[in-house]
Structure 1
Amino acid sequence: MNIIAWIILGLIAGAIAKAIYPGHQGGGIIATMALGIIGALIGGTVFTLLQTGRLQLTTAALSIPGLIVAIIGAIIAIFLWGLLTGRSSY
């Protein structure tokens, strides 16, 4: 996937994940994009693991199913970031 598609997918997935996840998450547009791109990596990898049984680093595609996978991955990334930093989202 090219970099422009990654940025678009990251921005959309990160914004939707921040809206869905309860509590307040800081960060601006760059942090939201990074969250979405990381979410696409996490979601794509977990989806590939569940689908094929192999752990392979893949990303979600710029499509409706790929966006859903990226949003789920971004929600997981928000949760993990909260665990690592010790911040509560409430």
Structure 2
Amino acid sequence: MNSYLITYDLDKPGKDYESLIKKIKDYPAWAHICDSSWCVRSSNSSKDICNTLSPYLDDNDKLFVGKLTGEAAWHGLSEELTKWLNDNL
């Protein structure tokens, strides 16, 4: 299983993030890193994850999914997020 970064911009005013967030939380392991950024663990590819999440977006929304290599740095994240990242990257 690999770790992936998911980040998005939902451009429609009043957009309901809940259905997208619920779908992200369906992955076996996930962490909400920043407002619109998540890390997930999956055996699927970046393209597969993007295709899975795309139905929850409007045409003017943006989505990025990238496979993480294991090297990362961060500042200001909670101990819980730091532990998750250390355990899953």
Give the TM-score taking structure 1 as reference length.
0.29
Higher strand share: 2
